[in-house]
Amino acid sequence: MPHQLAQLNIAHLLAPMDSPQLADFAANLDRINALAESSPGFVWRLQTDEGNATEIDFFGPDYIVNMSVWEDLDALHNYVYRSAHTEILRRKKEWFHTMSEAHMVLWWVPEGHRPTLEEAAQKLNVLREQGPSVDAFTFKQSFPASIAQRE
């Protein structure tokens, strides 16, 4: 069965979402989410009825979560590092605490699968406890979908 790439990224906010400190970040959310959705290879993203995921406090009230599914690693990489999304990445220290442990994880899912936050948290814990593997990996140390397809 073909696989797609799931990703989870969590961030620890320096201030509440409605604070002046995060105003620029909040003002760019709709634009950056729309950019993701129109990017080649985009499949799905976690969102509330409001169209974003900032109200989801699964990891705690001071954390925001981003979870999405992409056709492959290249599609996600191009969106994250070769699009207007880089403007946001460059400013992350203005809005988020630097996290000492892994806060982003990638894993392969069967085509059509939509991961839950529980599943994503488990993958993040695997990465934190065991390091990168075919079950939970990073951009820096990734594994091809063909390995996941054999399992």
Looking at the predicted structure, is the pLDDT value of residue 145 above 80? yes
Residue-averaged pLDDT of the chain: 95
CATH topology of domain 3-150: Alpha-Beta Plaits (3.30.70)
Higher-pLDDT residue of 27 and 148 is 27
pTM flag (> 0.85): yes
What DSSP string runs through 104-135? EEEEEEETT----HHHHHHHHHHHHHH-SBTT
Question: What percentage of residues in the chain have a pLDDT greater than 90?
Answer: 90
Give 104-118 pLDDT, tens digit per residue: 999 999 999 999 999
CA-based Rg of the chain, rounded to a whole angstrom? 15
Looking at the predicted structure, is the pLDDT value of residue 149 above 70? no
d(CA 54, CA 147) in angstroms, rounded, equals: 33
Q: Is 149 helix (H, G, I), strand (E, B) or coil?
A: helix
Mean pLDDT within 58-70: 96
Looking at the predicted structure, is the pLDDT value of residue 96 above 70? yes
